Amino acid sequence: MIRIAIQTKGRLNEESLALMKSIDIDVESAKRKFLSKAANFPAEVLYLRDDDIPQVVSSGTAQLGIVGLNEVEERGCDVEIVARLGFGGCRISLAVPKGDKYEGVEYFNGKTIATSYPVILGKFLKENNIDAKIEVITGSVEIAPAAGIADAIFDIVSSGGTLVSNGLREVERVFESEAVLIANRNLGSEEREVLDEILFRIESERVSSRKKYLLMNIPKDSLDEALTILPAMRSPTVMPLAAEGWCSLHSVVEADELWNKVKQLKAIGAEGILVLTLDKIIL
C-alpha cells in the first residue's frame, strides 16, 4: 500500500485527480474524505494543502506526492523528483514598476522585494551578488509596490496578465515550475514496485495521448505509397477487403501530424478514413 499526497483544492487538484483517473487509479475526491483508498489499486490518497506536501513526503507520512516544483524547492525538503507531469506550468519572476528603467539585476541592489518565495529568491540574489531586502508576504504579492510595501516583487507568473493589471513588468524569469511526482527517499521494495507500476502507467498514458489510430480503405495500387506515408510502431496492418482491388489499412500516427497525413492519404485515393483516440499504448 502506498500513500499519495495531493492538493485538497486549488490549481493542481483537478489535474492531479485527472492523472490518477487516466492511469486507472479510482479515488474519491476530497469533498468526502481527507483520506481515500483506491478501489482497484494498492494506493490511498491523502488530501493536503500544497505547502505541506513536500514535508509530508520527505518525512514518510506519505510515500508519494503531486506538487509544484516551486514548493519542493522553496521548502528545501529532501525528496526524489520521479516525474515531471506536464501540468501546472508557471514561472517565478522578478517584476518592477513598469515605468522604472531596468538595465540588469543590479537594479535590485538596495531595493525591497516582496515575495512568498524567500528561499528561491534568496538563492538567486546570492548567486548574482545582489544585496536586497526580502519582505515575505503570503498573499497578493502583486499589490506590494503600489501599496508601498516593496519596490519590486518576486512572484508566480503564468500568463503575465496580473502583473500588467498591477502596473508591473516582468524583468527576470528566475524559476520554471510544473507539477511533479515526488517520492520519499527511503521507499521499501514493495512501495518501489507500486511506484514503478504508476510510472509505467503514466508513460503509457503520455505516449497514447500524443497518438491517433487511423483506419481507411485504400486502393491496392496505392498501398506502397500509403506505406511510405504511414510509419507505424512496427508496420501498418493491411487487411483484404471483399471489394476487388481494395484493402483496409490500420496505423498509428502522431496526433500533431494527423491532418497532414490524412491529406496525403486522400490524395492517393484513401476512403472511409476513421480516426480513433487511443486509450493506452503499452510499449
**What residue is closest to ligand ATP based on CB?**
68
Q: How far is the CB of 97 from ligand ATP (least distance, A)?
A: 21
Closest contact distance (angstroms) between CB of 155 and Mg ion is 13
Q: Indicate the burial class of 196 (C-beta count within 10 angstroms; 0-12, 13-18, 19 or more).
A: exposed
Nearest Cα residue to 168 out of 93, 118, 104:
93
Window 17 to 56, contacts with Mg ion (CB under 5 A): 50-51
CB of 279 to Mg ion, least distance (A): 34
Nearest residue (CB) to Mg ion, 70 versus 93:
70
Could you give the count of Cα atoms lying within 13 Å of 283 in the half-sphere of its Cβ?
Answer: 11
Q: Which residue's C-alpha cell is 491523502?
A: 46
Given ligand ATP, Mg ion, none, residue 68, with its beta carbon under 5 to 8 Å by kind, binds ligand ATP
CB nearer ligand ATP, residue 11 or residue 206: 11
Phi, psi (5° rounding) for residue 239?
A: -130, 145
Give the helix/strand (H/E) hosting 240: strand 237-240
Residues that bind ligand ATP (CB under 6 A): 7, 10-12, 49-51, 68, 70-71, 88, 90, 156, 158, 177
Least distance in angstroms from the C-beta of 181 to ligand ATP: 13
- Kindly tell me which of 116 and 222 has the beta carbon lying closer to ligand ATP: 116
* By the rule CB under 5 A, 8 interacts with Mg ion: no
Measured CA distances, 139 to 116, 117, 136, 209 (Å)? 7, 11, 10, 36
Lookup: cell for 218: 485504400
Q: For residues 160 and 93, what is the distance between their CA atoms, to the nearest angstrom?
A: 10
Smallest gap from Cβ 149 to ligand ATP, in A, equals 19
List of residues contacting Mg ion (CB under 5 A) = 50-51
